Amino acid sequence: MGFDDKGASPIVGAVCWLLALEGSPKDEVLRTDFILWLRADPNNGAAWANASGMFDVMANPPSDFAEDWAPHISATLKVLEQRMASVLRPAPNWMLRVAVGMAAAVAMWVAILVVPSLLISFEADYETATAEKRALEFEDGSFVVIAPESAIVIDHSETKRLVRLLKGEAFFYVTPNADRPFRVIAGDATARTVGATFNVQLGDEDTTISVRHGLVDVAYGADQQLDGQLEEGDWATVADGDRVQRKSGRYQDVGAWTHDELIVRDRRLGDVVDEMRRYIPGVIILVDSELSNERVTNSGFNLAKPVAALRNIASRRRAEVHQLLPGVLLIRRD
C-alpha cells in the first residue's frame, strides 16, 4: 500500500496508516505492509508511537476547529491506545528504538518544518494565512495580490522596483516605467518587465511565471541566464535552476485565482490537492499514491467554496472526500 507523502511528515503517514488499519482490521497483507513501513525508518516508528500521529493532530487542532474537536479527543485516544496494543506488540528492545526514534523525529520535525517557516515569517514584509488573500498598492500605482499561504519582501527605491516571493504565489499589475524596471525573484527564477500583468508561483521544486498582458523577461540559475521573453498567454516553468519548460495557453487563465477560480490543465491530482490546502483550514489526507498521480484536465473550480471544489476535484477521478472530524478531510476511493 502506498501513500502520497510529498511534503508530508512521518506523522501524516502514521495517520494514514491508522485510518487504513481501522478500516480493514483483518487485512493481513495491509498489516504486513504496515510493519514494513514502521520498521523502514525510526522516524516512522516514532510517529506511530507518538499516538499514531493522530495524537499530535488532535492535541494541537487547527485553531478554527479547536472547540469542535474537544468532544472527540478522549474517544480518539482510546482508539489509539487499543491500536497500539493490538497492532504493534513491539518487543522491549523495539520499544527502546522507538523511544530513541521519537526524540529524533521531534528534532527533525523542528528542523525541517518549524524553523524554515519561522525564518520566512521573520524575513517577510507581508505574509498571508490559509484562505487569506491580500492586495497591496505600490507608490507608483502598481499593485500585487498575494495568494493564501504566501509571503513577499518588497525592495523599492528611486531606481528599482523589486519583490522577492519567499513562498506561495502572487499576481502583479505593473505600471509602465522603462527607467525603473520591475523584477520579481522567486527561487532560481527572475521575472523582469517595464510594464505588464503576470503571475508568479513558487513550488517545492520549480517556479512558474505566466503572463496575462504585456511582455516579461525570464532569467534563471545562479548566473541568471536570460531564457527569453514571455508574451500574453505564455507560461515558463523553471525547474532545478537549470531547466525551463515553456507553453502557451489562454491569457484569461493567468491569475484566475485572484477572482476565486482554479483552472486545471493536465495536472496531478496530488498537486491540485496541495494547492487546495492553501484554501482549506485544517488537514487534508490523500491516502492512495496511485490516485494522487492520476491527471485532472481542462477543469475550472470555484475557490470561493473550497471544500465543494475539493469534492468536485476528487469526483473527476471517481474519489470522494470524507470528513473524519471538523477540519480533517480524507480523500479516497471507496
Asked, for residue 134, whether it belongs to a domain, the answer is yes
* Tens of pLDDT, residues 5-54: 444 456 666 766 666 676 677 777 777 777 777 777 777 776 665 434 44
Query: Can you tell me the distance from the alpha carbon of 235 to that of 248, in angstroms, rounded to the nearest whole number?
Result: 6
pTM over 0.75: no
Asked, for residue 116, whether it belongs to a domain, the answer is yes
Same domain flag for 141 and 91:
no
Same domain flag for 82 and 165:
no
Same domain flag for 264 and 327:
yes
Asked, for residue 92, whether it belongs to a domain, the answer is yes
**198 vs 49, residue with greater confidence:** 198
Read off the CATH number of the domain in which 140 is found. 2.60.120.1440
Asked, for residue 274, whether it belongs to a domain, the answer is yes
Among candidate residues 231, 255, 279, the one where a domain is terminated: 255
| Closest by CA position to 197, among listed 179, 215, 181, 184 | 215
Same domain flag for 236 and 186:
yes
Other beta carbons less than 10 A from residue 245's beta carbon: 11
| Closest by CA position to 64, among listed 331, 302, 334, 328 | 328
Same domain flag for 34 and 118:
yes
68 Cα distance to chain centroid: 24
Same domain flag for 132 and 225:
yes
The pLDDT-based confidence of 244 (bands split at 50, 70, 90) is confident
Same domain flag for 118 and 132:
no
Same domain flag for 243 and 280:
no
Query: Can you tell me the distance from the alpha carbon of 274 to that of 83, in angstroms, rounded to the nearest whole number?
Result: 29
DSSP three-state, residue 158: coil
Do 100 and 42 form a contact (C-beta atoms < 8 A)? yes
Asked, for residue 32, whether it belongs to a domain, the answer is yes
Amino acid (1-letter code) at residue 142: S
DSSP three-state, residue 73: helix
C-alpha cell at 290: 496511485
Asked, for residue 2, whether it belongs to a domain, the answer is no
Same domain flag for 246 and 265:
no
Query: Can you tell me the distance from the alpha carbon of 23 to that of 26, in angstroms, rounded to the nearest whole number?
Result: 9
The pLDDT-based confidence of 217 (bands split at 50, 70, 90) is very high
Same domain flag for 268 and 312:
yes
Query: Can you tell me the distance from the alpha carbon of 157 to that of 209, in angstroms, rounded to the nearest whole number?
Result: 24
* Tens of pLDDT, residues 47-81: 665 434 444 445 455 566 556 655 555 555 455 44
Instruction: Match 512521518 to its residue by C-alpha cell.
Output: 10
Asked, for residue 244, whether it belongs to a domain, the answer is yes
Same domain flag for 137 and 186:
yes
Other beta carbons less than 10 A from residue 250's beta carbon: 12
DSSP three-state, residue 239: strand
Among candidate residues 92, 123, 154, the one where a domain is terminated: 123
Same domain flag for 25 and 81:
yes
Do 6 and 12 form a contact (C-beta atoms < 8 A)? no
Among candidate residues 240, 255, 270, the one where a domain is terminated: 255
What is the number of structural domains in the chain?
Answer: 3
Asked, for residue 3, whether it belongs to a domain, the answer is no
Mean pLDDT (whole number) for 168-190:
96
For residue 42, what are the domain limits?
10-123
Average pLDDT, the chain: 79
Burial status of residue 290 (CB atoms within 10 A of its CB: 0-12, 13-18, 19 or more): exposed
Q: How far is CA 270 from CA 239, 290, 294, 332, in A?
A: 18, 10, 8, 12
